[in-house]
């Protein structure tokens, strides 16, 4: 028997395929149910409308990006990419941010939404934080606190600093089209890393 979790993943996979192919406005729960191979009542019991389904889909995809960034964050360097920074919390945190940005810039679902239906993301940019953003803040706060202990990150309120880092990375990712005429991907990511590294660095030192 197929587990509820497997059914939910199948529906979310189908929703992702529909959104990537047709966009959010043209995706219906009926389309998703058909593609997932489940009945319409199965989908409607879990998601009352396509908006709720897309919200859960975005949460799943962003949490997966965060997991991968967390797993690969140990190769970070300092602001100049040096080996010394790889042993600091600041180096690891900026490397995680870089990895997340690179993946997000090539993520088919995110790029489709940002390019064609950016209003979907507006609530999370201007009004409230979502589940994936709170998960990101947990990682950032922990990394900042580690850096304050090892001396690679300046003193300050870790929660407030985590918010600034999150919003900075988020803004740079979602506003990519505003910089692409002057910065290619490598240059954009490098500048973002410099911004974060400078913001987090202790005053008067590296």
Express each pLDDT in 157-176 by its tens digit: 999 999 999 999 999 999 99
103 falls in which pLDDT band (50, 70, 90)? very high
What's domain 1-48's architecture? Orthogonal Bundle (1.10)
Q: Which CATH class is domain 55-200?
A: mainly alpha
User: How many C-beta atoms surround the C-beta of residue 1 within 10 A?
Assistant: 4
Domain spans, the chain = 1-48, 55-200
Task: Give pLDDT, residue 204.
Answer: 74
Q: What's this model's pTM, rounded to 2 decimal places? A: 0.83
Matching CATH topology for 1-48 and 55-200?
no
Express each pLDDT in 40-85 by its tens digit: 999 999 999 998 999 999 999 999 998 888 776 555 444 444 444 5
């Amino acid at each position: 028997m197929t587990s509820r979790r497997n059914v939910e993943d199948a529906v979310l996979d189908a929703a992702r395929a529909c959104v990537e192919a047709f966009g959010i406005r043209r995706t219906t729960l009926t389309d998703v149910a058909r593609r997932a191979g489940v009945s319409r009542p199965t989908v409607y019991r879990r998601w009352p409308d396509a908006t709720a389904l897309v919200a859960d889909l975005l949460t799943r995809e962003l949490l997966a990006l965060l997991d991968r960034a967390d797993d690969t964050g140990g190769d970070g360097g300092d602001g100049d990419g040096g080996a010394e920074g790889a042993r600091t919390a600041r180096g690891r945190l900026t490397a995680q941010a870089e990895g997340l940005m690179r993946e997000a810039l090539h993520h088919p679902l995110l790029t489709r939404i940002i390019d064609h239906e950016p209003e979907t993301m507006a609530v999370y940019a201007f009004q409230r934080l979502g589940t994936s953003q709170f998960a990101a803040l947990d990682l950032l706060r922990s990394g900042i606190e580690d850096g304050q202990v090892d001396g690679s990150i300046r003193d300050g309120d870790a929660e407030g600093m985590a918010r600034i880092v999150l919003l900075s990375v988020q803004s740079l990712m979602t506003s990519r089209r505003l910089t692409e005429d002057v910065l290619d991907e490598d240059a954009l990511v490098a500048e973002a890393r410099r911004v974060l590294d400078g913001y987090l660095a202790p005053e008067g030192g590296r």
